[in-house]
Amino acid sequence: MIGFYNYTVVLTYISLGISAFGMTQAIHGRFKTAIICLALSGLCDMFDGKIARAKKDRTEDEKAFGIQIDSLCDVVCFGAFPALICYLLGVRGPLGMAIIIMYCINSVIRLAYFNVMEAKNALVTEDGEKFYRGLPITSMAIVLPLVFMIQFFVPDFVFRICLHLALLIVGILFIVNFKLKKPKNMTLAVIVGVVAAAVVVMIFFTRYRISFHPGWPWIVRR
């Protein structure tokens, strides 16, 4: 079989599988499950690189394969998946579709640029510290659960505005040329805690579903 098979890419495949399942849940209106899947995919992505770097005897081909697999999976997990959730939750119409298209295109540009820079080892400072150019695409696994959490505080139309703004701002930041220091373990722990808290709030307080009727999909409370 073609490809490289070792434990360094298993977590990336798990992340993809979770997101694929999450898409099916979003389509059927199970948004709590879908958002949890998005958060879990982001959690997997936080640690897949650490697992890969722990294997010291990887060949150059295995390293290059891992980089490509990671970005290809990220296109689905943090590009297409959040865009689908936002569309089903009400990001639509000419403006909404323009924002979704922009978000998806920028996510691909951001990942392709990362691959090029990573291959050249250009994302490391002279002191050996790694950094990002532009906002990492996995940021949407943090932003969207937080935005979804607030929907029980505000009217539906305000919630939809927040979704539009989240996609627009995050999508633009994907391709803005700024340096972002790669977070340390303590920072990652704080991020995981914040997202976990958002997911807990969402589980107990949100009541969204898709209404299957003429004009579907409109979002109604249950």
Examine the pLDDT at 104 and tell me if it is beyond 50: yes
User: Do residues 193 and 26 lie in contact, with contact meaning Cβ atoms separated by under 8 Å?
Assistant: no
What would you report as the CA-atom Rg of the chain, rounded to the nearest whole angstrom? 18
Lowest-confidence region among 10-14, 27-31, 159-163, 195-199: 195-199
Terminal Cα distance for the chain, rounded? 48
Characterize the bridge pairing of strands 131-133 and 208-211.
unpaired
Q: What is the mean pLDDT of the chain?
A: 83
Average pLDDT of the residues in 70-75: 92
In this prediction, residue 15 carries a pLDDT of 93
Could you tell me the pLDDT band of residue 162, with boundaries at 50, 70 and 90? very high
CB 26 within 8 A of CB 83: no
Q: Are 13 and 3 in contact (CB under 8 A)?
A: no
Single-letter amino acid code for the residue at 159? F
Buried b (16+ CB within 10 A) or exposed e, 85-96: bbbbbbbbeeeb
CB atoms under 10 Å from CB of 216, counted, come to 10
Helix (H, G, I), strand (E, B) or coil at 180: strand
Cβ-based burial of 51 (10 A; exposed 0-12, middle 13-18, buried ≥19): middle
Mean per-residue pLDDT, 209-220: 45
Q: Which residue has the higher pLDDT, 153 or 190?
A: 190
Say yes or no to pLDDT of 154 above 60. yes
Paired residues of 124 in beta bridges: 130
- Orientation of helix 140-149 relative to helix 156-175, angle to 10°: 170
